[in-house]
Amino acid sequence: MRNQDIANLLDLTADLLEIQGANSFRIRAYRSAVRTIEGLTENLADVAGKGAGELTKLPGIGKDLAQRIVEIIQSGTTTQLDELREEVPAGVLDMLKLPGLGPKKVGALFHELHVTSLDELKQAAEEGRVSLLKGFAKKTEQSILENIDAAAQFGQRVSIAEAKRAAEAICDDLRQLDCVTQVEVAGSCRRSKETCGDLDILAVADSPTEIMDRLSEHELVQAVLQRGDTKQRVRLINGLEADLRVVPEESFGAAMQYFTGSKEHNVEVRRRAQERGLKLNEYGLFRGEESVAGRTEEDVYAALGLGWVPPELRENRGEIELAEANKLPKLVEMSDIRGDLHMHTTASDGEASILEMAQAAKDRGLSYIAITDHSKRASVANGLDDKRLLKHWKDIEKVRGQISGIEILKGIECDILEDATLDISDEVLAEADWVIAVIHYGLKQPRKQIMERLLNAIKNPYVCAIGHPSGRIVNKRQGADIDYPEFFQAAADYGVFMEINANPARLDLDDIHAAAARDKGIPIVINTDAHSCGGLDVMPYGVAQARRAGLEAKDVANTRTYSEFCKMLRTS
DNA sequence: GCCGTTTTCGGCCCGACTGTTTTCAGTCG
């Protein structure tokens, strides 16, 4: 039982309790426990195994939830959850995806109309039975019918790359209006969370009408869902929804703070405001009627005795305490990056030659790269065997003479095979400048086997780094079942680096585990894994993930100069 | 259901918009 599985069951419990009309603070307690579990590096079962009181030491987990977690670990479910599932059919939860339907309305549909699925809801709405319910009327019924066929695709989160592309296109367009003085994206997109559920755009504009009109006409906008005096909600053609808020200039900082979130960060910040007899909302920080701050985010944080918190850290994972103690990290920036240690060429499945990749990297301001084509196990990617690899490295040596101003390391992305051996012989690996070991196949093996493979790779004297350690694909594929504390301890002991793979579909390590690796003193490398020249441009996503992990330039090996970086490589 | 330098009860962040009512509950972020 993995942490995410336990979290999912508690989240499901909360959903079902909501439909049942349970106390909202009780629901919040479950959601808060889910968050705690998702932010944990340690295996929850291991924590529980240490003793009865250990689970309740975790924030938001008391006696009751600790008991339920133990129950899940032992039996894969809880009696409470089984009872809830008995009472509320699974299809009822699908109705929550419809816009305008929350737990109360869904509860009414289920309890009073006995509707248990989207199909039954559609039928009930078509027959006009929905509008007969108290609290429902024709408009709600109409809205259900309009949205029900597309309901399955609602609520899908998109990758940070897709979200940023859309957000920037829209913001750039809105900025062209004369009536507009400021437009910025806030929300999870500004925090560079790996996926975004919607876009939050804030603007200062003389004419809210004009900017809302402009947004509704944007080519990316499919439909206007809501429109008031200061707020408009639209759906984009990719299914993502976007909120535009128009705020007064003197409130822009407070609004940015408010709408950047996260919710958990804001709850904590507003609690601090309350403690000081202040009230914080999107219009400013107030003492009674008097505005204390609001024009800039810095002002708002300062008025609460806090340093300005970089958006990527705003998850209530300790950043507020750091801001109070004036100990916020100076986060790594794109301009700190000097090297890229994971990329492919036409030798395996890349689209560009060694020289083209080197030139493209140089054009992007890098001073060193590693060419790391696939090993033979990745047969679909035309992976290299020992012989071809040696020839490939000879080619790299030739290219070194054809381009100046950039160093090229002879590397390999070497598969860790299912039997825990490496895909390239030690004799050949010994000749490499840089070896990234990765798991591509057998990701679903049990933890014991996965760990044997990872530890074997770490102990190999020629392996420099573990690439995309979990193998997860954001929103698509769960990563391998890794015992992270053991994994990181071994990497620390043997001096092996950990990669943050910057490809927005991977972002692997994730923020939580990258922070845990850093805490172990493991050097992190942020790499693009580019398969073309343009592929080098994903580096900002990796840097953003590193920032979310609280990493500083000193924690990231490829911020070093080439000679400093080479000194860090173990000499064996 | 959690939490506590107001500690075993009584709190628990805040506001816009919509639809259904006619002063407000629900939804949403």
Question: Chain A, 199-228: which CBs lie within 7 Å of strand B?
Answer: 200, 226-228
Residue A540 CA, nucleotide B21 C1', distance (Å)? 51
**Nucleotide closest in space to A134 (CA vs C1'):** B20
The pLDDT assigned to A153 comes to 65
Residue A135 CA, nucleotide B23 C1', distance (Å)? 15
Residue nearest to nucleotide B21 (CA to C1'): A135
Question: pLDDT tens for residues A214-238?
Answer: 999 998 998 898 899 899 999 888 8
Residue A134 CA, nucleotide B24 C1', distance (Å)? 14
Which residue ranges of chain A lie beneath pLDDT 70? Answer: 152-155, 570-572
3-state secondary structure A268-296: HHHHHHHHCCCEEECCEEEECCEEEECCC
Structural domains in chain A, sorted by start: 3-153 (1.10.150.110), 158-246 (3.30.460.10), 251-324 (3.30.210.10), 334-568 (3.20.20.140)
**Residue A17 vs residues A312, A365, A408: alpha-carbon distances, Å:** 32, 54, 58
The pLDDT assigned to A571 comes to 52
Cβ of A20 < 7 Å from strand B?
no
Residue A21 CA, nucleotide B11 C1', distance (Å)? 20
Give pTM, 2 decimals.
0.88
Question: pLDDT tens for residues A25-41?
Answer: 888 899 889 988 888 88
Q: Torsion angle, CA of A319/A321/A327/A331, rounded to 10 degrees?
A: 0
Backbone angles phi, psi at A479, to 5 degrees: -80, 180
The pLDDT assigned to A314 comes to 95
Cα distance between residue A344 and residue A5, in whole Å: 35
The pLDDT assigned to A572 comes to 40
Of A410, A409, A405, nearest to A366 by C-alpha is A405
Mean pLDDT score across all residues of chain A: 92
